Amino acid sequence: MNIPPVEPGTVGPCPVAPDALQGIKRQQTNPARWNGAGWQDFVAALRSAGVELTEGRAACGAYVTDAGGTAYGQPHGVVIAHSAGEVAALLRTAQAHRVPVTVRGGGLTTEGEAVAYGGVLLDMTGMSRVLAIDAAALTVRVEAGIYWHSLAEELRREKLDYLSAPLNLTSSVGGTLGVGGIDVNSARLGCSADQALSLQVVTPTGEIVECSDTENAELFQRVILGYGQFGVITEATLRIRRYTPLSMHYYYYSSLATAIEDLQMLDRNDASDYSGILTIMDCAVNLLVAFDSDEREAAFRRDWEARLRGHGEFGFALCMLGHYALRPWKAGEALYLLKRKQAVFPEFRRPEYMRDGKMHDRSVVFSRAVWKHWGSRNMVIPDLATPADRFVAAVERGNAVCRKFFPHYTLYCVGIKLRPEHRPHYEMSCVPPDAEGWAYGCEFEPMIEGEVYSRDHFQAFKNAIYDIGVDLGASYYRFGGMMKGYIRRVFGDALVDRHLAMKRKADPAMILNRDVIF
């Protein structure tokens, strides 16, 4: 097809012939926009209840999309949360007027879950303070809109740290507790949501309720990993720990399956404090292992390191040299690998974050690297979560899908230790129902590298990954947007209908985050 060049700032002729897309199955990416019925009455009622709502493009523009950058929508108005009382007033009024409310923390969803298609956008980052640190009991009470990074900033002044959080500085605590949260220490500590001891929740009908494993336990079970369906988390008490820098080790593999087997071996034997896999290419797989203490590191060196089948950086470089010397036609691949190494590796070794060979502030180092080298305006990251025994198959099949759709991509694999006492939280979540001991998650992230792909291309890619999940009886981390079509296929009608009945009971007008799951 000959597409004529178009001057910047002008709109050229549509290059797609009117019949070009016939026969291609279309799927709606954005949910339908709420029609705005009764909006003005709702706004008046809300303002008389003392809740500030802002409208207009300067207020709504910041929320037009999420980190995924493929789903777009605008709310009719924005409420920035300042207190649980204000959130309660908002939800009560929204129930009465049947106005949808979409809750947003860091906005790091990738399927449009944090995008409002009309109605109210409730921005929780207005509630982002540390309320109390108990250094003796090792707990912290926070407002739920706080970014993990902001929490880390305040904890570090007391030589403390959070237990586990997504490798992203702008994830919010409330958002993470609502979906799970995976860190490179999840194979040891469980998902980030497992560190929550108690929550203050505003129910969809506007009651402010404290809940925990022992108080209003049913609400606690539904809200943790509940994808925002059963309430808005306004405060959380979290377990924390003493801060320690960590020592990192990297092992390189040319086989994805071997690296995963070694990762699972380390996890089963509690051989490291942190573990995960990041791939650079199919033939260059990085197993990351890290430790909080010299003792744990020494034990690993003594008992487990020799069992790993990966190489150190130098040894792997020699292997690659041999590999490409015998395959000169793959020089482009070798060049990409080299460029990627030169760009990314220094990021993990910045001198201001290293002291005596140990990495300080790992979340900053990882998150900055993630945004700098993997981030883009479109972050398309379908994922699969499986029991341990099906993980290699899931990753290899997902990897083959990536290869089909994109020239370069990264896989991020990590284990999640399951806590038997938290099994009720895990129902209809990213944790596969039949997983025992550990679940394993893999994100498949194409490198966009400045290219422009159509949303159809992204969607076809995601569907191909998600189809693997259906086939293998897996689960998924990201449930919103395009994933909705998969929820019944994965979990079955009986479970989904049971949750839907609970949702209808808790949220009679179905106003809260209604485009995410049901």
Partner 1 sequence: MFAAAPLDHACCSGCSLCRLVCPMWRQHRDPRFSPEGLAKARQCGATAAELTAPLEACSLCGACDPVCPEGIDLYAMVMELRRDLSPALPYRQALDALQAKFALAAAAAEAPAAGAQFLPGPALRAHPVLLARVKALLGYACAADDGADIALALETGGEISPARRRRFLDRLSGRTLAVGDGLLLRQLRQWLPGARLQSLGEALASLTTIRRRLASTDFYVIEPRAYHADYERLVAYYDRLQVETGCALNLDLQRIAIPALRQALPRLAAPLADADATQARWMLQGRRPQRIVVESLADRAAFERVCDIPVLHLAELAQD
Name the site residues for partner 1 (rule: CB under 8 A). 5, 8, 56-67, 69, 80, 106-107, 123, 125-128, 147, 149-150, 152-154, 156-158, 169-170, 351-352, 361, 363-364, 368, 371-372, 375-377
What's the rounded Cα separation, in Å, for the pair 410 and 402?
9
- Of 42 and 63, which has the nearer Cβ to partner 1? 63
Of 415, 388, 361, the residue nearest 186 (C-alpha): 415
CB neighbours of 129 closer than 8 A, spacing ≥ 6?
142, 143, 146
Beta bridge pairs of residue 238: 140, 196
Eight-state DSSP code of residue 158: T
- Of 375 and 473, which has the nearer Cβ to partner 1? 375
- Of 153 and 210, which has the nearer Cβ to partner 1? 153
- Of 152 and 211, which has the nearer Cβ to partner 1? 152
- CA dist list (Å): 169 to 176, 195, 219, 240, 376: 12, 18, 28, 17, 16
What's the rounded Cα separation, in Å, for the pair 98 and 61?
24
For residue 171, the minimal CB distance to partner 1 (Å) is 10
- Of 128 and 247, which has the nearer Cβ to partner 1? 128
User: Is the torsion defined by CA of 285, 292, 140, 368 positive or negative?
Assistant: negative
Taking the CB of residue 347, how many other CB atoms lie within 10 A of it? 15
For residue 53, the minimal CB distance to partner 1 (Å) is 13
Q: CA angle, corner 415, sides to 412 and 417, nearest 5?
A: 155
Residue indicated by tokens 């009608």: 493
What's the rounded Cα separation, in Å, for the pair 427 and 225?
9
What's the rounded Cα separation, in Å, for the pair 349 and 354?
7
- Of 11 and 24, which has the nearer Cβ to partner 1? 11
Compute the CA torsion angle 466, 470, 472, 475 (nearest 10 deg): 70
For residue 169, the minimal CB distance to partner 1 (Å) is 6
What's the rounded Cα separation, in Å, for the pair 336 and 281?
9
For residue 101, the minimal CB distance to partner 1 (Å) is 17
- Of 119 and 432, which has the nearer Cβ to partner 1? 119
For residue 189, the minimal CB distance to partner 1 (Å) is 20
> Could you tell me if 98 and 53 are in contact, meaning their C-beta atoms sit under 8 angstroms apart?
no
- Of 353 and 518, which has the nearer Cβ to partner 1? 353
Q: What is the CA radius of gyration of the chain?
A: 23
What's the rounded Cα separation, in Å, for the pair 325 and 341?
18
For residue 419, the minimal CB distance to partner 1 (Å) is 29
For residue 495, the minimal CB distance to partner 1 (Å) is 34
For residue 236, the minimal CB distance to partner 1 (Å) is 17
- Of 63 and 438, which has the nearer Cβ to partner 1? 63
Residue indicated by tokens 């029609």: 35
What's the rounded Cα separation, in Å, for the pair 437 and 383?
20
- Of 49 and 59, which has the nearer Cβ to partner 1? 59
For residue 371, the minimal CB distance to partner 1 (Å) is 4
Beta bridge pairs of residue 235: 143, 200
- Of 18 and 351, which has the nearer Cβ to partner 1? 351
What's the rounded Cα separation, in Å, for the pair 276 and 188?
11
> Could you tell me if 105 and 168 are in contact, meaning their C-beta atoms sit under 8 angstroms apart?
no
For residue 3, the minimal CB distance to partner 1 (Å) is 14
For residue 388, the minimal CB distance to partner 1 (Å) is 33
